[in-house]
């Protein structure tokens, strides 16, 4: 396939990236993915073995996410391999239903190919399409320069800094809070 659409993107190295919603049957592969990311990056909120969800827990979670119109669990795949994820959840009650936070990651060997950017573009398009989401927030380690660059490039603005948000390898690390206000489509 040579045409790009929201779900099928030809990357700059020629590989075809597919973006799709996670399904309950992805549970086992997602746990393997999460474990790999936890071992590859200190920029996520868990280390190896710390996720604490069984395959069945994950399956139930994915089923719940799929049923909530303001939740998204996006999987990025290349040749059938999960290479990245982005998950977003909004509040459940009327006063916080319009606002949510996301987390994202890409396998290290696929960094800097634009996968993070394409997942974010998908998120923004999806969020506008809900007609409900009006604000997207994120937290990013203050020293995570590639992620900060990516978020700024996509239009997120800095809204503040929280100290001691993470404790990793015996040290506290702060995060920037960034956000984007959305108008519906
Ligand atoms: C952050 C992350 C999701 C980005 O994914 P990705 O697919 O590499 O993202 P992209 O390729 O779309 O964009 C990366 C950008 O960072 C830039 N970059 C790379 N290293 C950089 C650095 N040291 N300083 C500033 N920018 C840098 C790249 O040039 C690219 O920008 P460009 O497209 O304008 O050239 C990925 O690095 C990752 O999974 N990191 C570990 C987990 C993580 O940090 N998650 C985010 C937590 S908030």
Taking only the tens place, the pLDDT of each residue in 90-134 is 999 999 999 999 999 999 999 999 999 999 999 999 999 999 999
Protein residue with its CA nearest to atom 1 in ligand 1: 147
What CATH number is given for 8-131 in this structure?
3.40.630.30
- What is the CA(26)–ligand 1 centre distance, in A? 25
- CB of 116 closer than 6 A to ligand 1? yes
- What is the CA(147)–ligand 1 centre distance, in A? 5
- CB of 43 closer than 6 A to ligand 1? yes
Name the pTM for this structure.
0.96
Q: Where are the domains of the chain?
A: 8-131
Taking only the tens place, the pLDDT of each residue in 128-176 is 999 999 999 999 999 999 999 999 999 999 999 999 999 999 999 999 9
Strand 99-106 to strand 16-21: parallel, antiparallel, or no bridges (unpaired)? unpaired
């Amino acid at each position: 396939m040579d045409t790009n659409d929201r779900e099928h993107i030809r990357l700059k190295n020629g590989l075809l990236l597919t973006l799709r919603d996670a399904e309950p049957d992805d549970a086992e592969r997602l746990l393997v993915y999460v474990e790999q990311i936890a071992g590859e990056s200190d920029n996520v909120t868990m280390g190896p073995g710390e996720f604490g969800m069984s395959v069945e827990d994950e399956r139930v979670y994915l089923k719940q996410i799929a049923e909530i119109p303001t939740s998204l669990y996006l999987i990025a795949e290349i040749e059938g391999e999960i290479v990245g994820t982005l998950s977003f959840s909004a509040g459940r009650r009327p006063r916080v239903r319009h606002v949510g936070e996301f987390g994202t990651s890409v396998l290290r060997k696929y960094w800097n190919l634009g996968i993070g950017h394409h997942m974010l573009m998908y998120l923004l398009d999806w969020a506008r399409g809900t007609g409900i989401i009006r604000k997207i927030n994120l937290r990013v380690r203050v020293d995570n320069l590639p992620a900060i660059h990516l978020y700024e490039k996509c239009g997120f603005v800095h809204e503040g800094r929280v100290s001691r948000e993470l404790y990793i390898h015996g040290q506290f690390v702060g995060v920037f809070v960034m956000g984007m206000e959305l108008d519906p489509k």
